[in-house]
Chains A and B, each alone.
Chain A
Amino acid sequence: MIDFGFSVSPSSRINLDSVDRESFAALAKLEPDVLKCMACGSCSASCTASQFEPTSVRRAILSLQNGQVEQALDLLKGCMMCGKCTMVCPRGINTRHLIISIQKIYGK
């Protein structure tokens, strides 16, 4: 192998063909509310932890739908479970249970 000082960089493209559908289906069974998100962002805006650490239920759901599991877990690891997102969610998503369910299904 020759070092040219540059090389092929990994693609950042989302490939929906390779998303782990089984895990997501298991998640939707455990907490069906995951399907209800309409990406309004209220959760991230009110989040207690997001003042310190990038934390967003909205983006975590999206990441899982896009097959970016690591990113989803990263977006939830700082969650303090305070429940503000549950209170502000206009679709009434049970975000606390959703977060725990995501961590249980996808976490190591």
Chain B
Amino acid sequence: MISILISAVQPVTPEGIIDRYPNSYNHFVLPFVIGISFILVYLLIGLIRVLYHLTGEDRIKLLKSLFIPKTALKNLKDLFCDCLLHTKIWKRKPLLGYMHSAIALGWFLLIIVGHLEVYIFAPRHLEGITEGSLYYPIFYRFFIWINPAHETLRGTVFFFIMDLLLLYVLSGIGLAMFKRVRSIALGMRHTTKPSLADRVALYCLWAIFPLRLLAESFTADLSGGSFLTKPMNWMFKAFFGNELNFMPTWWAYSICLGLFFLAMPFSRYMHILTEPLLILMRNAGLKVRKPRKGFAEAEIYACSSCGLCIDACPMNSQKKNLKYSSVYFIRFLRRHNNRRINEIADKCLMCGKCAAICPVGVNSPEIRRVQRETLNNSINYDYSYLDSIAQTAKPENAEASAEGKVLYFAGCMSHLTPKIIKSVESLMKASGTEWEFLDKDKGICCGRPQMLAGKTQAARKAIQANKALIEASGCKTLLLSCPICLKVFKEEYGLKGIEILHYTQFIDRLAKEGKITLEKGTEAIVYHDPCELGRGCGIYNEPRNVLSAVGDLKKAPKERDESVCCGYSLGSMTLDEKDRAKIAEHSVDNLMAANPDCIVTACPMCYRAIRSKSPVPVKDFAEAVVENIKPSKTKK
């Protein structure tokens, strides 16, 4: 995009533009040069480090992805929307979004347009380090003298654009300063405590643009300016008289820039530079393999420490749990504080809400899972009892009629809520579906709980056994009532030619195909999105389609990807019963705000948890559906 722009504006050699300094150098640029050199070298080393820690396979994947048009386009879009526009923040908190885009996009454009200006009016200075290409475009307004008599329209337009951009950035900075004072006004209840490097970088960042304004205003009569800088220049002249006063401000501007870059790697502002890499890696489909290296490192440095995840975290319904939020987890990872890393990694419910709302898209639950893996994967286990099961399961023994049948896997937790199983059974009968019940008597765990506990190896063994049983059944559709199972079946099983459906999807399909007819009741229903179903598998609409046909579906204040975990997730290793109960209460409070007659959810775990705290009846999804199926006329 930028290259197109540049080609459209051909460089010229304007007559009225003269370097005020013959060698285009002044000592004040030194702090900036040191800072920018440091950060560039740091970035290069960092990039090499991250790439080095990737597996060979991942590196190739990353490289390839850059040349696949579809991914490349997505990369561009994401880079622009996420890094510059900050659309994700805009969507949730517009004012906060504006602040971020003002600073990011504004600054980015200042740099681009600044360089363009140099490219057009003083192209020589972009030719090499010796010509000052490192600092010249930044301090262009200092080095240049523009004869007012020769001022072109093009130049004036640039002056105007640059002042406008500066104002844009300044408005963002102003908001940022205000946010520091009153973060709640911008919609954040909790925010993180900045470290020393954070403070240095922050104050520098705050100072950079006001100083730039001052500096450019001082030289506006020499190097040109527009609606912002020119009047300031007149004002300064009127007050100070001597135009040589401008040196300290340029020094200050350069020092702030330099300091900012020096502090950057040790501060949260590193996210500005890391996020683009993260976007490329994520779009390439890389996964976290080690909790502190490779992709994870990119994620860690991409965290902006904004603290949005603090409010999002369901554990924080109790103040004492604030310290377990993702932002702190990432912070401790950065600091290599192992004790705290493990403590936080184990505590997390893995509900995924922090990842869903993260402006940078850091998937910290996944890092936590991998962190657990480093400690727990080597724990001894003995699943030899599964071997015989897997061996006796043979696909060739399957009946031919099985192909058209639906295979239902209830999972461990559904067996604790027989109502769900009964409802699924009635549903099968009502819809005339031919089906098999895989784990009617003896079931094997789906593997997800082991994965969540970091016992990946053990999980693979369980997965293998279940997979053999499923393939041996000959059925081509696998129906699940437990979202915990669903997620692992979808992501880890690799069941070829078998469609995996959650019962919300299945029932939605039955209704659409007319195999069941739903009767709309008058009950006000609120639906609780189970974490693993919603954020975990992206299933939000199907249950809502069905429920709105069954009753009066209300909206909870926080729903879909912002839904509040029920607190009983298997994700948390160390939360105790009392804490879980508190979270469940919090989750129910959110649902009850919609003033429903009943709560419906589609997960056996949520069902039990919410039922224990809810003042209104709680129904399982299938149960709610079965209660409202219109008896078919054709069948008995």
- Partner-B contacts on A (CB < 8 A): 31, 33, 46, 48-49, 51-53, 73, 77-84, 86-88, 92-94, 96-97, 100, 103-104, 107-108
A94-B574 in contact (CB<8A): yes
> Chain B 213-253, CB within 8 Å of chain A: the 1/0 string?
00000000000000000000000000000000000000000
Residues of A within 8 A of B452 (CB): 81
Residues of B within 8 A of A49 (CB): 385, 445
Residues of B within 8 A of A48 (CB): 412, 443-445
Q: Is B413 on the interface with A (CB-CB < 8 A)?
A: yes
Q: Is B381 on the interface with A (CB-CB < 8 A)?
A: yes
Closest 3 CB pairs of A and B: A92-B577, A80-B445, A82-B412
Residues of A within 8 A of B462 (CB): 80
Q: Is B419 on the interface with A (CB-CB < 8 A)?
A: no
A81-B445 in contact (CB<8A): yes
Contact of A81 among B386, B443, B458, B605 (CB under 8 A): B458
Residues of B within 8 A of A107 (CB): 379-380
Residues of A within 8 A of B386 (CB): 52
Q: How far is the CA of A78 from the CA of B385 in the complex (A)?
A: 8
Q: Is B383 on the interface with A (CB-CB < 8 A)?
A: yes
Number of A-B contacts (CB under 8 A): 88
List which B330-387 residues lie within 8 A (CB) of chain A. 346, 375-376, 379-383, 385-386
A84-B382 in contact (CB<8A): no
Chain A residue at smallest Cβ distance from B578:
A92
B380-A87 in contact (CB<8A): no
Contact of B570 among A31, A77, A96, A108 (CB under 8 A): A96
How far, in Å, is B187 (CB) from chain A's closest CB? 34
Q: Is B568 on the interface with A (CB-CB < 8 A)?
A: yes
A77-B449 in contact (CB<8A): no
Most A CB atoms within 10 A — which of B412, B413, B415? B412
B570-A78 in contact (CB<8A): no
Q: Is B575 on the interface with A (CB-CB < 8 A)?
A: yes
Residues of A within 8 A of B271 (CB): none
Q: How far is the CA of A46 from the CA of B608 in the complex (A)?
A: 15
Residues of B within 8 A of A53 (CB): 382, 385
Q: How far is the CA of A78 from the CA of B458 in the complex (A)?
A: 10
B412-A88 in contact (CB<8A): no
A94-B576 in contact (CB<8A): yes
A87-B413 in contact (CB<8A): yes
Selected A-B contacts with CB under 8 Å, 10 pairs: A48-B443, A49-B385, A49-B445, A81-B458, A82-B570, A83-B570, A84-B415, A92-B576, A92-B577, A104-B376
Interface size class of B (residues with CB under 8 A): 35 or more
Given A48-B443, A94-B574, the answer on whether A82 and B413 have CB atoms closer than 8 Å is yes
Residues of A within 8 A of B376 (CB): 100, 104
B450-A80 in contact (CB<8A): yes
> Chain B 387-399, CB within 8 Å of chain A: the 1/0 string?
0000000000000
Most B CB atoms within 10 A — which of A46, A92, A94? A94
Residues of B within 8 A of A52 (CB): 385-386, 442
Contact of B575 among A80, A84, A88, A94 (CB under 8 A): A94
A84-B380 in contact (CB<8A): no
A73-B416 in contact (CB<8A): no
Q: How far is the CA of A96 from the CA of B577 in the complex (A)?
A: 12
B449-A51 in contact (CB<8A): no
Chain B residue at smallest Cβ distance from A31:
B574
Chain B residue at smallest Cβ distance from A80:
B445
B574-A80 in contact (CB<8A): no
A82-B379 in contact (CB<8A): no
Given A77-B380, A81-B453, A107-B380, the answer on whether A100 and B608 have CB atoms closer than 8 Å is no
A96-B379 in contact (CB<8A): no
How far, in Å, is B109 (CB) from chain A's closest CB? 51
Q: Is B498 on the interface with A (CB-CB < 8 A)?
A: no
Residues of A within 8 A of B442 (CB): 51-52
A73-B380 in contact (CB<8A): yes
Q: How far is the CA of A53 from the CA of B382 in the complex (A)?
A: 10
Given A33-B576, A97-B346, the answer on whether A83 and B412 have CB atoms closer than 8 Å is yes
Q: How far is the CA of A50 from the CA of B577 in the complex (A)?
A: 24
Given A48-B443, A52-B442, A96-B570, the answer on whether A84 and B412 have CB atoms closer than 8 Å is yes
